[in-house]
Structure 1
Amino acid sequence: MKIALVTGANKGIGFAIARGLASIGYTVAVGARDDARRERAVEQLRTAGADAFGVALDVTSDESVAAAAATIERTVGRLDTLVNNAGIGGRIDGGAQDPTTLDLDVVRTVVDTNVFGVVRVTNAMLPLLRRAPAPRIVNMSSNMGSLSLHTGPIMAAYAPSKSMLNSVTVQYARRLADTNIIVNACCPGYVATDFTGFAAPRTPEQGAAIAIRLATLPDDGPRGGFFDDAGVVEW
């Protein structure tokens, strides 16, 4: 039995990742901060035959993350896979993410979830991951964070947060290069979720596919890379 924690797993791509991992035999810890939505997601997964349990998790709170790690330790004793999926786009009204009128409070809020949240969760879960025979960490990024591709709309809080997440991913991969913990980042593509106003061509299941692939890499799989369905994404 393998155990995975997916953050932000109550809806959208996170829920699709949780469902996909459960379908191949993982026990899935559904991390989400909203109690009602988390319980509903767990119920949906269990109804579909999944082995799932909920974990209260606000990635912006040290206390919440520490409590989540304690819950997982008490419930299952280790983690085989961590998918850092929780993320936000941030406000865009009133030029909040136009670089020439950038609202720095929006930048702080976005980075606190998209970057600091990943570090907070990863470091809290590392002791549990180290107990697994083949641990995997997957950070959900975006090609909007690519410094060479320049994709998507101008969002000067969100896009740089993903650039920083990509860099942090590389730092983790370097630090853990001589361990069995494999760390990578991925881009799910333009997916129809509430984040995109459901106005995108890809389904959550399509967006989840690359994360599931990286979560189940063999021991000789790539480390410290940035991938989408087509392969390597340019930094």
Structure 2
Amino acid sequence: MNDRTALVTGANKGIGKQIARLLAAEGFVVYVGSRDAERGRRAVEEIGGAARLLVLDVTDPDSVAAAVAEVERPAGADGRGRPAGPGHLDVLVNNAGVSPSLAPPTESDADEFRRTYETNVFGVVTVTNAFLPALRRSPRPRIVNISSGTGSLTWSTGPNPQFAFGNGGGGAYRSSKAALNAITVLYAQTLDEEGFKVNALAPGLRATELNSRAAAGGDPAEAAEGAVRLALLPEDGPNGEFFSWDGTPVPW
């Protein structure tokens, strides 16, 4: 039997839901991470297959701890006779993200930065560290961090094929993704000898609810395909690198 398992945070809509859908199609038991239980249930019904709801707020340590307990739950531990959780995790996709505004840093206060980093950076650290024991039980652990090309310092300081953001707009969001890129590298270096592959993906502008610009974006499913490629990397695949949705490298 195929007992591969995956967790996608922020998977009740947008790119996250499409990633979960594709992983389920690959035969994974997929935990659909969602802060909102009802929206999560609807996403699970739409995805089908072996999708499972996992109520998860990445900014709440208690919620994260409860999610870990669910994945590692012994059979019947809840008194309802449900099957045990898998106890291991093969793929973690840190997809949950927020973009409160597109304002430059001169027009953003520190609270906006805190709220953005709470999900986009601190939430990734909280979830990743909490699920490390489950990931370490996998023979081929993979972590995919959904970043943004707008977080590339190279593209932000010179000509690039992706966007024109010369006015410093989206300061909180873009800097949070630059920070996410940095911790992607550090996790990759730290976990390399344990066989982990930890990479970042720039999904491109997608039609999601992220911010006002996103409404004009492309199909989220296209970006999801790039994330799944990184989730299924072979043993000789890249580690600690940054890729666009189409598989081309993105400069840090």
The answer to whether TM tops 0.5 is yes
Q: CA deviation at 1:220?
A: 0.8
Identify the residue that residue 234 of structure 1 maps to in structure 2: 251
Structure 1 gaps of 5+ residues are: none
Say if 2:208 and 2:217, in contact at 8 Å, map to a contact too: no
Q: For 1:114 and 1:190, how far apart are their aligned partners in 2?
A: 17
1:28 aligns with 2:24: no
> How well do the aligned residues superpose, as a CA RMSD in angstroms?
1.2
**How many pairs does the alignment contain?**
228
1:78 aligns with 2:88: yes
Identify the residue that residue 220 of structure 2 maps to in structure 1: 204
Say if 2:99 and 2:211, in contact at 8 Å, map to a contact too: no
1:157-198 CA deviation, whole Å, 9 max, x = no partner?
000000000000000011012111110000111111122455
1:119-158 matches, cutoff 5 A? 119-150=125-156, 151=163, 153=165, 154-158=169-173
Say if 1:144 and 1:152, in contact at 8 Å, map to a contact too: no
Q: CA deviation at 1:152?
A: 5.1
Q: Which amino acid aligns with 2:93?
A: V
Q: For 1:225 and 1:191, how far apart are their aligned partners in 2?
A: 22
Q: For 1:101 and 1:19, how far apart are their aligned partners in 2?
A: 38
TM-score (norm 1): 0.94
Say if 2:147 and 2:181, in contact at 8 Å, map to a contact too: yes
Identify the residue that residue 217 of structure 1 maps to in structure 2: 233
1:188 aligns with 2:187: no
Identify the residue that residue 188 of structure 2 maps to in structure 1: 173
TM-score (norm 2): 0.88
Q: Which amino acid aligns with 1:20?
A: L
1:161 aligns with 2:176: yes
Identify the residue that residue 40 of structure 2 maps to in structure 1: 38
1:56 aligns with 2:55: yes
Identify the match of residue 9 of structure 2 among 2, 7, 10. 7
Q: CA deviation at 1:103?
A: 1.1
Between 147-156 and 55-64, report the one with greater CA deviation: 147-156
- Cα 1:116–1:152 change in 2 (3 A) is farther
SS of the residue 2:127 aligns to: helix
1:106 aligns with 2:88: no
Say if 2:101 and 2:211, in contact at 8 Å, map to a contact too: no
